Amino acid sequence: MFGRFATPDFRYATIVAFGYLLLTLLLAYPVSLHPGTMVIADNPDTHLFLWTLAWDVHAFTSQPLTLFDANIFHPHLGTLAYSENLLGSALLAAPVIWLTGNLVLALNLVQLATCVLCGLGAYVLARRLGFSRTAAVLCGVVYLAAPPRFFRIGQLHLTAVQWVPFALAYFHTYLDHGGKRNLRIALGFLTLQVFSSGHGAVFLIVAMTLVMLYRVSLGEPVAVGRRLGNLGVPGLLLLAPIAAMIVPYRAAQVGVGLKRSLENWLPTPESYLASPSHLHQYLQTWLTSTDVNGLASAWLFPGVTVLILGTAAFLPGPSTVEPAGGWRERLRRRPEVLYLLMLIVSVSMFVPPPFSLWPWVYAWPGFNFIRVPSRFMILAMLALAVLLGAGFDRLFGGRKVGPRVAAALVAGSLLLAEYASMPLAFVPYTVEVPAIDRWLNTLPKPFAIAEVPMPRIGDLGAYTRHNTMAMLHATAHWQRTVHGYSGIQPALHQRLYDELSRFPDAVSLASLRDLGVTYVVVHEDQYPPDSRAQVDERFQRFAEQLRLEHTEGEGRVYRILPPPVEPFP
């Protein structure tokens, strides 16, 4: 039963995975040494990822059948679908959260794990495509460490693309050798990718579609009936969770407009040369006096080594006997042609017109959730990794083991020299929930809350940060809160947040009552010192409608009371 785990290939893959782990820890220094107290960036996106992992893990045991009904943006339901749900990543984070309660540690460990798995997945894909072990190791290094992918490590919804190469590996195996098991494993990885990253799911579906179209163009029969038979009931069960997830996202799309428009989507021209690695920044100074990284809107430069070795994949090789099936079979045996096509399609998503595909596809299902099409560079890096592997084998595949390993060490050293950017930028950070929010957990449930002071909408940075911090505060009790942050902002909450910036007054109190909000949490230390007297006076003016329930530290909790009865004239 466990014989496959004792094979040389499995043992070698285990060693390779350990090597990728060491490489990840090196590239992520110093965050990798202090994963429980540092984050890549202390910003609303990081807060959102922390809250999402915490909510998912909480919902796994408290409300697994309604886990999309998250506690934010009260009174709306299905609010987990307003952003990436990260459920696949939450499965990895759950043991860490249950054992330590440290959300920062869970987030960082998941992000580091995605890098290791990206490298291992690219290695497995290369081996399934027939590359040598040394070429496959280099493929993994590229997909793990290349800046266009690695520097998404602080964006969990973009770094969690680790299941894409695994799914492609088994899909290729199925098309080459058949077998129901291979197809079902590929679909299982597809489901994992859908639940880990919606962006990654779109990348994978595009890649699998291109693989199938390429094979059909070379004479592969469509054979719908046979493939459905191979899918079978187990395959349908593997895909069933995807169908279930479509419902809340479709509701979010219809209800609050979760989709993208065709505006501000082109990366700046400097982005194509932009990279944060030390060597790439040095090369930029030789090429131009322009501040490339300062003007870039994305890291899109893949590296010199990968471009050279990727180009070598198309050098003429030694003459061979014409395979049965002629040129079609010869193309089928050369995956570099397919992955060059994948590279072209990926890059065509974000290059300027008239060569861009984005104006034609941005409104398609799935694509309409992607805000920045230059993120397709992640899929382009997987294609480039495959091309690099093909190029390495084209140059050194026929040599003896010693020279081939030496060449791989040189190529790997060049890749690491290009991609090194340590120490990684970081910010010391821990999730701190005020004592007054923890006190709310002692109250009878359910209830709904709001937190003030609410910055004015014009102060975008403070406004979004207040909402994300309120989301994290609510992890102490998991009751519903009017606050929320996502790629969209419901019209109801845009109006409400503007009203809360003047709380308390008659309008904001009436709106909170209408929404069924029970308590208001007041953080006194967040008011400017010179305005506290004025704020206290407003609270005194509405004393009949706000009852002080508890004071702790710099926090107060007020219960919203019914409006006073107007006397008859």
Reported as half-sphere exposure (CB side, CA atoms, 13 A), residue 237 has a value of 3
User: Would you say the C-alpha torsion 437, 440, 446, 449 has a positive or negative sign?
Assistant: negative
The span from the CA of 192 to the CA of 187, in Å, is: 9
Residue 472, Cβ neighbours under 10 Å: how many? 19
- The closest of 300, 291, 276, 280 to 373, measured between CA atoms, is 300
The span from the CA of 182 to the CA of 458, in Å, is: 54
Q: Of all residues in the chain, what percent are helix, strand and coil, respectively (each to 5)?
A: 60, 5, 35
Please tell me the predicted confidence (pLDDT) of residue 2: 45
pLDDT tens-place string over residues 445-488: 999 999 999 998 777 788 899 999 999 999 999 999 999 998 77
- The closest of 152, 238, 236 to 199, measured between CA atoms, is 152
Helix (H) or strand (E) holding 192: helix 180-196
- The closest of 294, 31, 45, 314 to 157, measured between CA atoms, is 45
User: Which residues on neighbouring strands pair with residue 547, listed in sequence order?
Assistant: 559
Please tell me the predicted confidence (pLDDT) of residue 67: 95
User: Which residues on neighbouring strands pair with residue 523, listed in sequence order?
Assistant: 555
Q: Which positions ≥6 away from 342 have C-beta within 8 Å?
A: 207, 210, 379, 380, 382, 383
Residue 557: exposure state from Cβ atoms within 10 A (0-12, 13-18, ≥19): buried
pLDDT tens-place string over residues 164-174: 999 999 999 99
Per-residue pLDDT of the chain (569 residues; tens, 9 = 90+): 445 655 778 888 999 999 999 999 999 999 999 999 999 999 999 999 999 999 999 999 999 999 999 999 999 999 999 999 999 999 999 999 999 999 999 999 999 999 999 999 999 999 999 999 999 999 999 999 999 999 999 999 999 999 999 999 999 999 999 899 999 999 999 999 999 999 999 999 999 999 999 999 988 888 888 888 999 999 999 999 998 889 999 888 888 876 777 778 899 999 999 999 999 999 999 988 899 999 999 999 999 999 999 999 998 865 444 555 666 777 777 899 999 999 999 999 999 988 899 999 988 888 888 889 999 999 999 999 999 999 999 999 878 888 899 999 999 999 999 999 999 989 999 999 999 999 999 999 999 999 999 998 777 788 899 999 999 999 999 999 999 998 778 889 999 999 999 999 999 999 999 999 999 999 999 998 888 888 889 899 998 999 999 999 899 999 999 987 666 66
| Identity of the residue numbered 419 | Y
Dihedral through CA 407, CA 410, CA 415, CA 421, nearest 10?
Answer: 160
